[in-house]
Amino acid sequence: MTSTLERERSSAVDPRIAARREAVEADRRRIRVRRWAVLAAAIGLLVGAWYLTRTPLLDVDRIEVVGAVQTPIDAIAETTGIRPGAALLELDRAAAAARVRALPWIDTAVVERNWDGRIVISVTERDMVAIVDDDSGVGWLVDASGRVLAEDGTMDGIDTRIVGAVAGAPGSTVSGIDDALRVAALLSPGMRSRVATIAIGPDGSLTLGLRPQGTVVLGPPTDLAAKVTSLRTVMAQVDQRDLASINVVNPGTPVVVRTPRTP
């Protein structure tokens, strides 16, 4: 029960003060309502955005591969780890591209995301320059960096073997043959059909074996571009019958030695 004193104090409050208190309290209520409304709208937007990423509007519809020749398109698409129906916004494109680059033939890979649901994988492949046998004698194609690409075939156009090295599994790299690989990469298509082998000596010197006969002495692995150019000139201009050797250690003055003919 309200005491007489409290009733007297209540009745003594100035009406203007009471009205002001009511106005302040009303403002507080409006601010609280607005804050709750803003919070509810933000939550609604977040929930809507989350739901949108999981609708067919923003998922992977198809995967396209551009630039592949030696590597099957299906193998590239499978290697990305991206599947139709995956959420576009959650794709790790860098990781997908790294997985594609791990394929033996692939040199570069870029994964592009399109908002129409397409994933485009653009690749460039490595160029084969030579053959290296594995420890069982099977020949494997390698590129200019020594990366093992695939087992040697009959229609690849590469006929030059690097001897004294052993190839590993596809995707691995053959070490210790950098200079021989440089020579192999410098050979023209016509020279590749004539150069059967590239051998590396204990001192690092290089010797080529020709078909059907003859050798080429390159010597130390210096000025290789000039030496190969000199060899190409000799092979184009000199009669190679009874050829024993071509020495291009000094590329400016190549020396041709023939096998003496029997009487």
Instruction: Clarify whether residues 72 and 114 are in a common domain.
Output: yes
- Number of domains forming the structure of the chain: 3
Using the CB atoms, write b or e for 22-56: b if 16+ within 10 Å: eeeeeeeeeeeeeeeeeeeeeeeeeeeeeeeeeee
CATH number at residue 63: 3.10.20.310
Instruction: Clarify whether residues 182 and 240 are in a common domain.
Output: yes
Q: What is the pLDDT of residue 36?
A: 74
Instruction: Clarify whether residues 183 and 246 are in a common domain.
Output: yes
For the chain (263 residues), the mean pLDDT of every run of 10, in chain order, is 52 66 72 73 61 62 94 95 88 94 97 91 96 95 96 80 94 96 94 94 95 94 96 88 91 91 61
Q: What is the pLDDT of residue 88?
A: 85
DSSP class per residue in 17-29: HHHHHHHHHHHHH
Helix (H/G/I), strand (E/B), else coil: 225? helix
Asked if residue 174 belongs to a domain, the reply is yes
Euclidean distance between CA atoms 97 and 66, whole angstroms: 13
Instruction: Clarify whether residues 146 and 250 are in a common domain.
Output: yes
Using the CB atoms, write b or e for 88-112: b if 16+ within 10 Å: beebeeeebbebbeebbbbeebbbe
Residue 141's DSSP bridge partners are 131, 150
Q: Contact 199/209 with Cβ under 8 angstroms? A: yes
Strands 195-200 and 161-163: parallel
- Domain around 82: 57-125
Q: What is the pLDDT of residue 45?
A: 66
Asked if residue 35 belongs to a domain, the reply is yes
Inter-axis angle of helices 178-186 and 224-237, to 10 degrees?
40
